[in-house]
Amino acid sequence: MTDTPSTKPLAGQTALVTGASRGIGAATARALAAAGAHVILVSRKVKALEEVEDAIHAIGGTSTIAPLDLTEPDAVSRLAAAIAGRWETLDIMVLAAAYLPELTPASQMEPKQFNQALLTNVVSTQALIAGFDPLLRRAKAGRIIGLTSSVAAAPRPYWGAYGATKAAFENLLATYAAEVERLSPLRVAIVDPGATRTEMRARAYPGEDASQLKGPEVVAERLTALLVEGFEGLYRERIG
């Protein structure tokens, strides 16, 4: 049976997913590949990336692994240069990588962990925007989806470090969306996945019954549908 545009709606498109080794990032990478996109898998964890790539190949999809620590100096710019040498455009960028520091009172934040959260959640986001801006703008309809958290807009006790970095993350993406809106077809979405069964969630809520939470594949299916359907302006959504 030959695949048709309806079964492979993202055929011919190239997508980059950060945090692609596990959780929502991995599930999204698989879903995008199933929809026909060639997916570039970015994470520090080489073995886990290889497992995701194997899963993609098992369903007939294609991918490229890019083992990378987003917080290393010049790492993103090197990745962008390598991708630009192989592809003329980048159609989709999903920012799923995030670092959750220990939950503590604002007065007791551990500086090293807070700095790691800033580097991963904020500084690397700006580096990704800067590095891939040319490729995204050259795409017919480039799309960025950034995954956020409810604590970015609604501060919660003990979540100050993570919430502050996610608030900055949202601000960067919203600012970029406003800057490109009149100059290119590139559009940005900020999506809160809501309570999802992930390792990060388990660390934050160790006593929670994970069986009552939706799986990462539910979020991945919605993100893929959103990319297939398309969106205009700065789009925001919370997945229940």
DSSP annotation string for 18-61: ETTTSHHHHHHHHHHHHTT-EEEEEES-HHHHHHHHHHHHHTT-
93-132 core/surface letters (b: 16 or more CB in 10 A; e: else): bbbbbbbbbebeeeeebeeebbebbbbbbbbbbebbbebb
State yes or no: is 205 an active-site residue. no
Identify the pLDDT of residue 1: 46
If phi > 0 it is left, if psi is from -120 to 50 it is alpha, else beta; for residue 74 that is: left
Identify the pLDDT of residue 78: 97
Per-residue pLDDT in tens (0 to 9) along the chain, 240 residues? 455 566 899 999 999 999 999 999 999 999 999 999 999 999 999 999 999 999 999 999 999 999 999 999 999 999 999 999 999 999 999 999 999 999 999 999 999 999 999 999 999 999 999 999 999 999 999 999 999 999 999 999 999 999 999 999 999 999 999 999 999 999 999 999 999 999 999 999 999 999 999 999 999 999 999 999 999 999 999 998
Identify the pLDDT of residue 5: 60
Identify the pLDDT of residue 7: 82
Distance from C-alpha of 151 to C-alpha of 166, rounded to nearest angstrom: 8
Cα separation values, 173 from 28, 61, 84, 147, 239, Å: 20, 29, 22, 11, 19
Can you give the pTM of this predicted structure?
0.96
> Hey, what long-range contacts does 108-112 have (CB within 8 A, 24 or more apart)?
109/160, 109/161
Identify the pLDDT of residue 6: 66
Identify the pLDDT of residue 72: 95
Q: Which of 99, 158, 162, 205 is catalytic?
A: 162
Count of Cβ atoms closer than 10 Å to residue 72 Cβ:
12
Walk me through the domains of the chain, giving residue ranges and CATH numbers: 14-238 (3.40.50.720)
